[in-house]
Amino acid sequence: MRAETDTETVQTALQSVATSAQDLPWAEERPWNVVSHVHEENGVVVIDLHDLNANLSKKVLAIITELAPDFHGGGVIFITGRGRHSVGLPVLRRIVLGTLVRLEREQGWRQRDLGAGRVLMVVNEDRIPARYRGHMPLWIPGFFLVFAVALVWALPLEVGLPLLLVVAWFAVGVWRASRRSPSNFTMEE
């Protein structure tokens, strides 16, 4: 017998939310269901909170908080959108970020803003796919260093050489800091 995937587990667990979402005023035009709003992307479960209200979004977060430690993908991506239909601050984004900040304090989990109304909750840094890890790719400080060498080449030696040393020191420091695993840090109470 095949083991259930993270996505299947989440779809089963969120079935009650899908049933409740049928009573939302916009459910006729924009129904929320687990087939269209829960999927997998690069080995991580993605939950699209569009078409849910604040209360149902909180219910999704509560259910996922219980399930998340067992996810093989190491985390969950929440799609909150940009809040174009919210009056004032984006409601769903505020709810998700507030919950994730609390979980960061209580559980030691991490959050990452993926841009475009997407937030990643990292439960286990060792299991999260490499593309979502907090490490800076080596090519970024490398590019910075090559750019600095080109700049030094164009400047007089007495200005360029000290500038190159400062840039190299900075690039190495940034690269080393980005290589530290967040799991090596401990939370202090």
Query: What's the pLDDT score for residue 64?
Result: 96
Q: Report pLDDT for 87.
A: 60
DSSP helix/strand/coil, 164: helix
**Pair 73, 162 in one domain:** no
Say whether both 123 and 150 belong to one domain.
Answer: no
Tokens of 53: 């209200």
Helices (H), 14-137: 15-21, 34-37, 54-67, 91-107
The CATH number of the domain holding residue 55 is 3.30.1370.110
pLDDT of residue 149: 77
Structure confidence at residue 57 (pLDDT): 95
Asked if 139 contacts 174 with a C-beta cutoff of 8 angstroms, the reply is: no
Q: Look at the chain and report how many structural domains it folds into.
A: 2
Q: Which of 132, 155, 174 is the last residue of a domain?
A: 132
Q: Quick one: 70 and 154 in the same domain?
A: no
Query: By the 8 A CB rule, do 42 and 127 touch?
Result: no
Same-domain pairing of 126 and 180: no
- Those residues of the chain that have pLDDT short of 50 are 181-189
- pLDDT attached to residue 153: 80
Look at residue 12 and tell me if it is in a domain. Answer: yes
Supply the range of the domain harboring residue 86.
Answer: 6-132
Mark whether 80 and 41 lie in a shared domain.
yes
Model pLDDT, residue 33: 94
Confidence at residue 161, expressed as pLDDT on a 0 to 100 scale: 82
pLDDT at 88: 57
**Using an 8 Å Cβ cutoff, are 169 and 148 in contact?**
no
Q: What pLDDT is recorded for position 83?
A: 57
Query: Same domain for 48 and 87?
Result: yes
